[in-house]
Amino acid sequence: MATGDEQATPISPGSDGTPVPAGTAVIRLGPKPPLKNLNDPGHAKLALGQAWEGLFAFSESERKLASPRLSV
Amino acid sequence: MFDVAWQVPPRTSRMPAGWYFGDASPFDEAVASPADAVAVERHHEYLVRMSLDKVVPAEVSAKARAVWELARKAVPGLPVPIAVAYDGGPIHYTWDNGRQVIALEALSGNQPCEWYVSDRQSGQFDGGDFDLSSGLPEPVLATLNEYLLPHPTGPNDGNR
């Protein structure tokens, strides 16, 4: 039974470049930045169909954690 | 009397005071090639645009420029990171070579900058705050130096 004290298992982007491991459900907490807010390497990355950790804003409560969870 | 003929003229009248584009020339020792010089200059223009378009406050744009300067001066040849600007700040930088991820973030106001490094191979990660006046944290510098070393990479070979 969950007590609420369990440590969340950190997740990281999948090795295929997808933002989260396959089968992981995520909830978007941060605003999705429009494409005009990306620089050239960001556009190049998206053109490859890949995402990266920085594309997904961390919630304030996660900023100070050493193991931030993705907020998609 | 001094000679001012060398001064770079302003590129645009919309350019805020204090911005200077001239340091991405092929003579810049932190730039590895003319192609890199172009990439660096385009990144600098991106930072100015994020400020002029009111995506982020000018202070965030300037702070992001300072973070980038610290990184590329510490590790010559470092590629331009992936950058994303969030409305009102922050500007988030990511270097990702498939194995290592280095993230630096310039936040608004008096907030310190944020850093995060992780190694997908070992599962190690670390992060925290830093002040620009203190330079980049040692774990960031160490990882940035390793970043340029050849690593076996998968499909997600980052922005190299």
Cβ of B86 within 8 Å of Cβ of A52? The answer is: no
| Cα–Cα distance, B148 to B152 (Å, whole number) | 12
Q: Domains of chain B: which residue ranges?
A: 22-147
Q: What is the pLDDT of residue A24?
A: 46
Name the band, by pLDDT with cuts 50, 70 and 90, for residue B98.
Answer: confident
Q: How many other CB atoms are found less than 10 A from the CB of residue A66?
A: 11
Cβ of A15 within 8 Å of Cβ of B55? The answer is: no
Q: What is the pLDDT of residue B152?
A: 53
Q: How do residues B68-91 score in pLDDT, each as one tens digit?
A: 999 999 988 899 999 999 888 889
Q: Does residue B7 surpass a pLDDT of 90?
A: no
Specify which residues B126 forms β-bridges with: B117
Q: Domains of chain A: which residue ranges?
A: 24-67
Decide which of B123 and B131 is more confident.
B131
DSSP state for residue B82 in the 8-state scheme: E
Q: What is the pLDDT of residue A47?
A: 83
pTM of the predicted model as reported, rounded to 2 decimal places: 0.68
Share of chain A above pLDDT 90, in %: 8
**What mean pLDDT comes out for the span A25-39?**
68
> Is the distance from CB of A68 to CB of A17 less than 8 angstroms?
no
Q: What is the pLDDT of residue A20?
A: 52
Name the band, by pLDDT with cuts 50, 70 and 90, for residue A48.
Answer: confident
| Cα–Cα distance, B3 to B1 (Å, whole number) | 7
Q: What is the pLDDT of residue A45?
A: 86
Mean pLDDT across chain B, nearest whole number? 78
**What mean pLDDT comes out for the span A34-56?**
82
Q: Does residue A26 surpass a pLDDT of 90?
A: no
> Is the distance from CB of B81 to CB of B67 less than 8 angstroms?
no
Q: How do residues A13-23 score in pLDDT, each as one tens digit?
A: 555 555 555 44
Name the band, by pLDDT with cuts 50, 70 and 90, for residue B6.
Answer: very low
> Is the distance from CB of A20 to CB of A70 less than 8 angstroms?
yes
Determine the residue type at B12: T
Q: What is the pLDDT of residue B128?
A: 87
Sheet holding B125-130: strands in order across? B82-85, B91-96, B100-106, B113-119, B125-130
Q: Give B121→chain A minimum CA distance, Å.
A: 10
Residue numbers in B near A55 (CB within 8 A): 84
> Residues A11, A16, A19, A25: is their CA dihedral positive or negative?
negative
Q: How do residues B34-79 score in pLDDT, each as one tens digit?
A: 778 899 999 999 999 999 999 999 999 999 999 999 999 998 889 9
Q: How many other CB atoms are found less than 10 A from the CB of residue B72?
A: 22
Q: What is the pLDDT of residue B149?
A: 76
Cβ of B80 within 8 Å of Cβ of A41? The answer is: yes
* B108: phi then psi, degrees, rounded to nearest 5: -80, 165
ipTM greater than 0.90, yes or no?
no
Cβ of A30 within 8 Å of Cβ of B86? The answer is: yes
